Chain A
């Protein structure tokens, strides 16, 4: 995992190296200072050599100056490296997500994908930054400080080794059970958040059943459980600082005792003793910082897993050829718009049940075809197979006599205009949104498409006309207007095949009739597939396909079906006739 993550640092690796270098300089400079100080005390003062003292003082200031530079550069390069890493990671994620097929998309929820691209990446960036700024120092500091301490007095250093082992053992003893306690606490946090979330989404139910008091009690339970877990975990953690202080203070005392005897016996200077204590502190501190690695990494690990899960997701619909470019050139184009389903079976997940079974029918170029059936009967799935939003499990879908898998995805989808059930507009002007359909569209093209979709009139009624800005998700237009804009956007592609998946539900019947009329006048050669709940939209179709539980149970015109097909009649009578508003 770390290896893969490391590869995302990519072209910023040189900054990591520079960081290591400058941290090293910084650490050495910082550790030299106590050594120089001890020289002042032990050599300068006894020999009353003011020149020596000042010289060493200037030397210390110089070291501090170098240290500022090194430290500053480290800050700069660590920022470069970590932000570069984050940018690469985000880019890799974004690229991957753009390559996702529909079933890949379905696997992750939108919210979870957004979290992975935003806060998870930030967390990773922070982790690397912390590593380069603080954690990197710890091992270097440890090694250098031990070196200096030993060089001052090897015998006294025994105390250091004992203190270090004690501290490591202590931290280990505290952190190991802490991990479990924190996991428990996390579970309680999730539980509490889940309770709140559920309460928020179901607030109407809570109020309708007067269950406020019950909900309060439920919350109190999770709240108390969380508090208990947090106190448990906190109690363990609150051992760490005292433990550290205990070891540090104890070691200091022992060093002063033995060191003091040496100083008294003139085996070493008082200055050396002071700097030795200083190194002792540095050593124990760096172990403390080092122990944070575990906590830091435990947090980062969860994020890293979530990120890599996306990056490593296998894309299940791709162009067969690896060389996309070549494929695009060789790919056939969708020209006429003849569609054939040949004994198609489909299921969303392996081992799941068939959502579509043995679908076998064809649609001629220029036909207006309606697909009807109850919720869950497979209508949306059926049309999704045409632009390869999903791949068939068995059988074949052909356009103009060629299997859809033979087309490049780009050419295939360029030939099919599709308005999804849950349609989305993006922030930007109306014009920009419509031009998603064709980025080279002229004003004339745009207006034409808009008027076919009965959108032109309301667009020009806005003060800014086609340059009206839409908020995110098209919040400032009504549902019906949104659907009409989406239809216009799809029309701009001038596709041989147009698919409307329940995309006129919010448009009033009169306007919808007008759209239908303009289609039949202006899009004579376009094959139109429409999924709808309204029988009025279906009546005049060239062909009506009735689906039930993933099977085609009837194909024909309204009158024949109404006569012969029980399900269709039922749908007409119970669901459709008028009353679908």
Chain B
């Protein structure tokens, strides 16, 4: 009876709204199979959903049929007792239908949400394992939209589209079957109109698709223009370009209005056409049925029931087209999600791990359980013969003839060889894009080299488990990123096992304690939005404390102080000094104060190391470093 099964939650998707997208998935079958595979965890619930769906559709179909006996056998003959009994039966039937419908939606939501939960977790988990290259080649917006749009579409499909499609199909064929049973002659009229409806709706659909694509194209232009002008708004102001910008905008805006109006109109017109074709069908049946009845070959009860079915039959057609569009959109989204899931994770073939050890009296080491804090760590190396050997962690880093390219086209590093002995501080100097950051990125295997060799304490870093390798390297980057959470949480990010006290000590050691204590809730102040409530220097200090608490033997400081003013730098300097003590340090900096004290300065140009030496030695050489340092140009 409820002829209009619209979902109250999504008014936007009712008939008459714009088709969301006409994006076509590439391989529906595989993708669908893959999504349905996620449902395997809820087999029982799905069985319940299907049973409930059959029950509620069945009760709806049967309910309409009841009109025939009600009118013919009880109402017209005036059999009130019979009528009461029949209505009672009908009531029970309806009640069963209502309960089934409730059970169906409730379980569908549960199943859909659980499935989406798993899908979302798997997607996120997978993303954590992807190499950095993936994040370099995909924008944040692109990846975010997996969570905001694509998952949503899949959820919509699981929660509504599939069940509605199923029930619409059931209702459609069920109605047809009952109609044929009631009167094959009258059904021929319905069939004719149905054919007409399907024909017209595909015709209009095709046409409106064309307009819609056109609309999307101009919408892209319009949004692109808005994005560009707003992105460069300050430029627009400085160049008095407002009026010109407005003029161009008005033009695109107007042409979009025209195209969108047409697209909207065509997408909408399907509705009244379908509804009224249905009404015409209704009229024809009333007339034909009336004539048949007065000729005696039909009866009023059957006519009433038949009319009821013919009213309902238009609805499933609308639903089916709508739901198929939604399902296609969901499939396209699912394909993007699965595409991420199918990406190759970071390669991690190493079996050398970092373990806690204690020193024996004879100078050798023996492994202790991970939770025992000895302060001494060693590499656990499995020899080819299967025996494990321990090698103390020292922080000796060497590059042998490393050549690297991000895109296999342009070489970023050419044949780079370098060494850093434990406790040494190595500074990289060179112009932007010379390859300084790349060197450090290769060391912690953010990217893998294809030529050459990098060793850590004499071990090829490809043999070291990534987790262990990165645990032995600390990093402070130029743009600090903090996480939503308290200051303490953020410091602890460096070492999840650190106690509150250890975190506070780290903050003290790097000189962050004094400003943290001045924050409203001290160490428990919540940092939000990447530390928007802190100054650049303060954020940097927290990042330094975070690295400090991790206490790795090797530190990488990538322009860590470049965006800090001199005043703050003095503050951070102390922290930096604490951080660098007794560690092997790689520093990329452009400030003399940092670089001058380095054990070795490496001058890099176009991916090659062109000079190496201490500050004094390099000045003496009067080479590139000397030029950079004195600012003298060859021009004059």
Contact = CB atoms under 8 A, between A and B. Distances in A.
Nearest to B74: A260
A242 interface: yes
A577 B615 CA distance: 14
B116 to A, nearest CB: 7
Contact of A79 (B261, B293, B308, B567): B261
A105 B234 CA distance: 8
B500 interface: no
Given A54-B287, A194-B484, A292 B241 contact: no
Interface in A188-228: 192-212, 214-216, 219-220, 223-224, 226-227
Contacts of A285: 3-4
B572 interface: no
Contacts, number: 465
Nearest to A182: B9
A211 B493 contact: yes
A67 B279 CA distance: 10
A446 B135 CA distance: 40
A97 interface: yes
Interface string B83-107: 1100100110011011101100110
A523 interface: no
A261 interface: yes
A274 B140 contact: no
B261 A196 contact: no
Most B Cβ at <10 Å: residue of A68, A95, A113: A68
A87 interface: yes
B635 A510 contact: yes
B253 A100 contact: no
A574 B573 CA distance: 13
Nearest to B477: A204
Given A79-B268, A581-B432, A439 B244 contact: yes
Interface in B253-275: 253-254, 256-257, 260-262, 264-265, 268-269, 271-273, 275
Contacts of A130: 11-12, 14, 16-17
B432 A238 contact: no
B283 A114 contact: no
B431 interface: yes
A253 B94 contact: yes
A38 to B, nearest CB: 9
B121 A253 contact: no
Interface in B226-262: 226-242, 244-246, 249-250, 253-254, 256-257, 260-262
A37 B98 contact: no
A98 B277 CA distance: 50
A45 B293 contact: yes
A64 B16 contact: no
B454 interface: no
Contacts of A260: 70, 74-75, 80, 83
Contacts of B304: 41, 270, 274
A60 B128 contact: no
A140 interface: no
A205 B453 CA distance: 25
B291 to A, nearest CB: 6
A151 B256 CA distance: 48
Contact of B98 (A71, A245, A278): A245
Interface stretch (A161-169, A356-364, A417-425): A417-425
A102 B102 CA distance: 55
A62 to B, nearest CB: 9
Contacts of A420: 234-235, 238
Given A65-B276, A288-B8, A72 B269 contact: yes
Interface in A39-82: 40-41, 44-45, 48, 50, 53-54, 56-57, 60-61, 63-65, 67-68, 70-72, 74-76, 78-80, 82
B470 A424 contact: no
Contacts of B466: 210
A374 interface: yes
A127 to B, nearest CB: 9
A257 B473 contact: no
Contacts of A133: 16, 268, 271
10 contacts: A114-B231, A201-B481, A215-B124, A238-B105, A264-B79, A375-B565, A437-B239, A493-B239, A567-B566, A581-B431
